[in-house]
A and B are shown apart, each in its own frame.
Chain A
Amino acid sequence: KAGVTQTPRYLIKTRGQQVTLSCSPISGHRSVSWYQQTPGQGLQFLFEYFSETQRNKGNFPGRFSGRQFSNSRSEMNVSTLELGDSALYLCASSLVGTANTDTQYFGPGTRLTVL
Chain B
Amino acid sequence: GQNIDQPTEMTATEGAIVQINCTYQTSGFNGLFWYQQHAGEAPTFLSYNVLDGLEEKGRFSSFLSRSKGYSYLLLKELQMKDSASYLCAVYPNDYKLSFGAGTTVTVRA
Contact = CB atoms under 8 A, between A and B. Distances in A.
Q: Do A and B interact?
A: yes
B97 A104 contact: yes
B97 A98 contact: yes
Interface residues of B, number: 23
Interface in B11-42: 30-31, 33, 35, 41-42
A42 B87 CA distance: 10
B100 A42 contact: yes
A44 B42 CA distance: 14
A90 B95 contact: no
Contact of A43 (B44, B91, B94, B99): B99
A4 B33 CA distance: 19
B96 A106 contact: no
B100 A90 contact: no
Interface residues of A, number: 19
B60 interface: no
A106 B44 contact: yes
B98 interface: yes
Interface string A95-112: 000110101111111000
24 contacts: A4-B42, A33-B97, A42-B102, A43-B89, A43-B102, A45-B97, A45-B98, A56-B95, A56-B96, A90-B42, A90-B43, A98-B97, A101-B30, A101-B31, A101-B91, A101-B95, A103-B33, A103-B48, A104-B33, A104-B97, A105-B45, A106-B43, A106-B44, A108-B42
Interface of B: 30-31, 33, 35, 41-45, 48, 50, 87, 89, 91, 94-102
Interface of A: 4, 33, 42-45, 56, 58, 90, 98-99, 101, 103-109
